[in-house]
Each structure stands twice: as structure tokens, then as C-alpha cells.
Amino acid sequence: QPKGLKYYYKNYFPVGVAVSAADLKDPGEVALILSQFNSLTPENAMKMGPIHPEENRYNWKDADSIVAFAQAHGLKVRGHNLCWHEQAPTWLFKDSLGNLVTKEVLLKRLKDHITTVVNRYKGKIYAWDVVNEAIDDDSTKFLRNSLWYQICGDDFITKAFEYAHEADPNAMLFYNDYNTERPEKRERVYRLLKQLVDAGVAVNGVGIQAHWSVYEPGQKDLVETIKKFASLGLKVQVTELDISIYPWEKNQRSLRPGESEVYTADLERKQIEKYAEVFKIFRQYREVITGVTFWNISDRNTWLDNYPVHGRKNYPLLFDQKLQPKKAWWKVVDF
């Protein structure tokens, strides 16, 4: 019986996994979680849409059950997330007539939301993704032109951190984003973080989502990103790790010549190498990297089965569809 990831990495960082409340009712998944991981992230349950569906109503059920499970088993919890342009509730940006609210109203709503949610789990959630994905995908632009930005300008970012810090001064607060290894995105995330740090904002770290593929990132790009963020005095957490067998390109909905929908031996080999490579780098930067979390438990059920191509199967994790450790798992613990 192989030991869990969390034991192999106990002198490095906690190893976490994103879960739904339903996962915690599946005996096979529960056994795997408890043997392998020492940190949980609610995959969707704490996002603003699910947890705060109406202005005067919160839906705590799933989030509470995940936190209770973590407490019962001595697992850490990362909160995800407090301010994001996606999975926002429909009421958030509009008034009762359907017009966009003013900046004043939106910031008040943000404050109420953050204060209520952070307060409820105070002392039980050690790190929060406060702002998620605020940088634009277009490399010639800076902040994403979301409704947050359209209504508040860049103030919503600073405010979100302020409100979260006020509610729980002991929680570690993160800015979280994807594709941070790509130089153009890295530079813009760095620019935002530097602004926050220079302004004395209570940001403790940056989340590298790590929705990667067998094709990227290259080692040099990953190392450069870790070093650059660390140079601001920030911690780094790998918050949403998976290694897709398809190239990660948002609008690339068809395969390129030579690419396959089948989990071939060649793709499996590339994935094993990529996992070995990135974990070696994580170990090398253990002073900076304070957590590594996988986005879903096993290849049985991953969000990438549907994203960005609906219904397409993917195999991005360390456990197979029968919840058994894959060859990549053995590589990750072999050091």
C-alpha cells in the first residue's frame, strides 16, 4: 500500500485537492483524499454565485460541509474565492430596475459579502484567494474589462484585500491567476502585485493556478515566474494544478495535425515527464512555495472533461479513473 503524497511532501508544503460536497460522500474518494492530501479547496461552493445567490440570502450548506469535513480530519482549507468576474450571482451588478449599480453600491456589496463569508470561517480557512483572474487575456491590455472594472475601476482589487484583512487579519491573502508562466502574463501580474505591495495592501501571496498541459510551461518560464513573484517578498502557492493532455488554448476547439483525442502512450510519457519536472522545481523553491493543490481528485471526474470542449474526456491528474495512482504519481514521490 503506497503512502500518500502528503507524507512524501511533509517537509516541503501541504498537498491539497479541490473538492465538491458530493465528493465527500463518496467512500472511494474520501479514502483517497484522506490518504493523500492535507488541504482542501472547495471547487465551487464558496464562489459568490453559489454561496450568495440573492442579496439577502446565503447558501452555506456545501461550504459548511467541506469545512466541517476538513476540521474533523485535521485538513487545512484554502478559501476560493471572494471576487471574480465569473460565477457571480445575477443580482450583484444590478439594481431592482436592472440598471448597473454605482461604484459605491458595488463596493458596499463586496464589503458585505467578504465580511460575512470570511467571518463565518475565521480561524478555519488559513488562506483566501481574494481576487481571481483580474488581468486581461489580451497582452496589450492590463486589467480585465469585467463589470467589476467597468463599475469600480481598479479600486475593487485594493478594497477586496482590505475587507478580507479586516475580517480575518490572520488569514493569508492571495491574488490568483492562470497562465502566469507566460512572459506577457507574468509581467502584468507582477505589475499588479507590485502596485499592491507598494501601496501597503495586505497581500501575502500569489496563486499560480497551474492549469498546464503536457506541452507547457517550460522549466525556465516556471522558474522565472516563481523567482519574480518571490522578489516582491510574496509567497507562492500552486492553487489549481492539472496537466491536460491537450494544448491549453482557450479558443482552440479543434485538434492540430498530429494531436490525438486518445490518451496515447506518448502523451502519458510526456505527462509523466512534465509532472516530474514541475515537482522538482516546487521542491527546489520550497522556501517560497507554501502549498500545492490539485484541481480535482482523479481522472474519473475533472472539470477539463468539459472545458473548453464540452464532453471531451481528459486525463490530467495523478489518479486514474479507478482512483489508482498513475505512473506519474510514482515519479512525483520518487526523489
Q: Smallest distance, Å, CB 207 to ligand XIL?
A: 8
Least Cα distance to 269 among 227, 216, 212, 328 occurs for: 328
Eight-state DSSP code of residue 256: P
Q: Which helix (H) or strand (E) holds 239?
A: strand 235-244
Q: Quick one: 110 or 272, whose CB is closer to ligand XIL?
A: 110
Q: Quick one: 237 or 272, whose CB is closer to ligand XIL?
A: 237
Interface map 167-186 toward ligand XIL (x if CB under 6 A): --------------------
Look up 240 and say whether it is catalytic.
yes
Q: Quick one: 192 or 272, whose CB is closer to ligand XIL?
A: 192
Q: How many CB atoms lie within 10 A of CB 108?
A: 12
Q: How far apart are CA 186 and CA 206, in angstroms?
A: 11
Say whether residue 43 binds ligand XIL (CB under 6 A). Answer: yes
Pairing label, strands 172-177, 289-294: unpaired
User: Are 85 and 146 contacting, i.e. CB atoms less than 8 angstroms apart?
Assistant: yes
**Bridge partners for 292 per DSSP:** 15, 238
Q: How far apart are CA 250 and CA 137, in angstroms?
A: 10
Q: Quick one: 18 or 332, whose CB is closer to ligand XIL?
A: 18
Peptide bond just before 183 cis, omega within 30 deg: no
For residue 66, give every residue at least 6 positions away whose Cβ sits within 8 Å of its Cβ, in sequence order, or none.
19, 21, 24, 40, 42, 45, 77
Print burial letters for 206-235: b (CB count within 10 Å at least 16), e (below 16).
bbbbbbbbbbbbeeeebeebbebbbeeebb
Q: Which of 38, 39, 132, 146 binds ligand XIL (CB under 6 A)?
A: 132
Q: Smallest distance, Å, CB 240 to ligand XIL?
A: 6
Q: How far apart are CA 148 and CA 167, in angstroms?
A: 21
Q: Quick one: 44 or 273, whose CB is closer to ligand XIL?
A: 44
Using Cβ positions, the residue closest to ligand XIL within the complex turns out to be 303
The dihedral of CA 97, 100, 103, 106: what is its sign? Answer: positive
Say whether residue 88 binds ligand XIL (CB under 6 A). Answer: no
Q: How far apart are CA 291 and CA 278, in angstroms?
A: 14
Q: Smallest distance, Å, CB 285 to ligand XIL?
A: 22
Say whether residue 209 binds ligand XIL (CB under 6 A). Answer: yes
Q: Smallest distance, Å, CB 264 to ligand XIL?
A: 25
Q: Which residues, numbered 218-247, are part of the site for ligand XIL (CB under 6 A)?
A: 240
Say whether residue 44 binds ligand XIL (CB under 6 A). Answer: yes
The dihedral of CA 259, 310, 44, 145: what is its sign? Answer: positive
Q: 29, 240, 261, 268: which is the annotated catalytic residue?
A: 240
Say whether residue 314 binds ligand XIL (CB under 6 A). Answer: no
Q: Quick one: 20 or 38, whose CB is closer to ligand XIL?
A: 20
Q: Which of 303, 305, 312, 323 binds ligand XIL (CB under 6 A)?
A: 303
Note the residues at the interface with ligand XIL (CB under 6 A).
43-44, 132, 209, 240, 303
Query: Where in the sequence numbering do the catalytic residues fall?
Result: 240
